[in-house]
Structure 1
Amino acid sequence: MKLLLISNSTMPGEAYLDYPKQQIKKFLGEKPVKALFVPYAAVTFSFDEYEQKVNDRFAELGHSVAGIHHCKDPKKAVKEAEAIVVGGGNTWQLVRMLHDQGLMQLIREKVLDGIPYIGWSAGSNVACPTLRTTNDMPIIDPTSFNTTGLVPFQINPHYLDANPDGHAGETREQRINEFIEINPKTYVVGLREGTMLWLEDDQLELIGKLPARIFRKGLEPIELRAGDDFGFLLK
């Protein structure tokens, strides 16, 4: 299984998908790949716009994407895909559309068979067992909170250590602590912006300058950096 799970698409002052582009290129390899792109998380802009935006970046890397929304038979498109790319946006809409079209299990099966999977933000959430550690507002009933379960742990993308000045609501850590209180056997990875997880051949590594914050019920949160052992998350 080969996964590249990216926290966020864009860093401040950078172009879209700029910071992860070299890792995306390395992940997909030198041979040109035409990946199946899932734009369903887009809400305030069109799927066509999203596809074009991603395709422009992938073209720089010698690869391309084709939006699943053009396919008359999305299930067949997943079965025939040589790679799958799931973009960020609203996780709730993304999950609802994947369930409505019967694609969640098909994506899982295809990736378990060995094709590469790239996701960022909501696309990384979908690789987890459930969507329940997303940051997004539940704008639509997702039908089921269950997602692909390609990894056995949860990801909280865009992880922040503190609330903005003047905001008196819960911190991200407090929200995650609520989750692990109800789900005591599940690890949650707070994936800070500018970082990503690369899983290949049962080897899980963090890429990026910032550490990831790991949560589990009954344990003090720990900070792990690139080069540290993340293998326990896969057990």
Structure 2
Amino acid sequence: MKKLIIASTSTVHGSEYLEYMLPTLTTFFKEASTVLFIPYARASGKTYDEYTAVARKAFATIHKKVVGIHEFDNPKKAIQQAEAIFTGGGNTFELVNQLYKNEVLPDLTRAVENGTPYLGTSAGSNICGVTMMNTNDMPIVYPPSFTTLGFIPFNINAHYLDHNPDSTHMGETRETRIKEYHVFNETPVLGLREGSWLEVNGDLIVLRGNYTARLFKQGKEPVELESGTEVIV
């Protein structure tokens, strides 16, 4: 049975990396002593070693060991043998590019479908949807496909921001961008605000955290979902 935490962000304002989620992660990863970290998204342009060190420091506070997938000669085997998996944020285009390049998408799919606990933050959450097409990231590389893992039957827009009527910014809002997406695509999109996450157990998807989420469907008005409610599309 699938067991996932799909979080909008790794860090909320005023806290350390993953700090706001550590109580949840303590329970979520209770059966695992080691977490396999996938640093392919290279947050802020970090090297894989630098990024893995950030994750390692956070998980050490809940007594979990972290190893980076890049430390293995065979990344496919690393996923197949992992007790638990964490994919960090950064650039979704590069993350997906590397997942295809290393031919690990099928292995990642099988591992999670077979019950390996999976945590994703930001880009690592974007890939849990049907496609990565609702990322906010710049297309710095060109992955072979936008198709991703499809663990949930909709797409994620992480770090979702509401329109600020006092802002002088004249560019498109997130809601506008998602409406543009729905001119050509039917897949629903969940705007996931920072500090919120999805808890997935099998086919049950529940919104957690302190905030509502905004669900967009083609041809319909967006709907606000309260924390603690099941996400049904």
- In 2, distance between residues paired with 1:64 and 1:202? 29
Question: Alignment partner of 1:190: what SS?
Answer: strand
Alignment of 1:80-229 (within 5 A): 80-162=81-163, 165-184=167-186, 186-229=187-230
Question: Counterpart amino acid of 1:173?
Answer: E
Question: Alignment partner of 2:145: what SS?
Answer: coil
Deviation at 1:201, TM superposition (A): 3.1
Question: Counterpart amino acid of 1:49?
Answer: E
Q: How many residues are treated as equivalent by the alignment?
A: 230
Deviation at 1:169, TM superposition (A): 0.8
- In 2, distance between residues paired with 1:120 and 1:83? 14
1:34 maps to 34
Q: Deviations over 1:150-172 (max 9, x none)?
A: 11110000000126822111100
Question: Counterpart amino acid of 2:205?
Answer: L
Percent of counterpart pairs with the same letter?
44
Deviates more, 1:38-47 or 1:157-166: 157-166
- In 1, distance between residues paired with 2:121 and 2:104? 18
Q: Deviations over 1:124-161 (max 9, x none)?
A: 01111111000000000111111111111100000001
Question: Alignment partner of 2:200: what SS?
Answer: strand
- In 2, distance between residues paired with 1:97 and 1:32? 25
Question: Alignment partner of 1:159: what SS?
Answer: coil
Contact 2:207 2:230 survives alignment (8 Å): no
Deviation at 1:48, TM superposition (A): 0.7
Q: Deviations over 1:147-203 (max 9, x none)?
A: 11111110000000126822111100000111122112x111000000000001322
Question: Counterpart amino acid of 1:180?
Answer: H
Deviation at 1:222, TM superposition (A): 0.5
Contact 1:32 1:62 survives alignment (8 Å): no
- In 2, distance between residues paired with 1:133 and 1:33? 33
- In 1, distance between residues paired with 2:111 and 2:32? 19
- In 1, distance between residues paired with 2:10 and 2:17? 6
- In 2, distance between residues paired with 1:166 and 1:67? 42
Segments of structure 1 that go 5 or more residues without pairing to the other structure are none
- In 1, distance between residues paired with 2:228 and 2:20? 19
Deviation at 1:32, TM superposition (A): 4.3
Alignment TM-score, normalising by the size of structure 1: 0.94
Deviation at 1:226, TM superposition (A): 1.5
Deviation at 1:33, TM superposition (A): 2.4
Question: Alignment partner of 1:130: what SS?
Answer: coil
Segments of structure 2 that go 5 or more residues without pairing to the other structure are none
Deviation at 1:204, TM superposition (A): 1.3
Two-structure CA RMSD over aligned residues (Å) = 1.3
Q: Deviations over 1:33-88 (max 9, x none)?
A: 21111000015211111111111111111212100011111111111111111000
Question: Counterpart amino acid of 1:75?
Answer: K
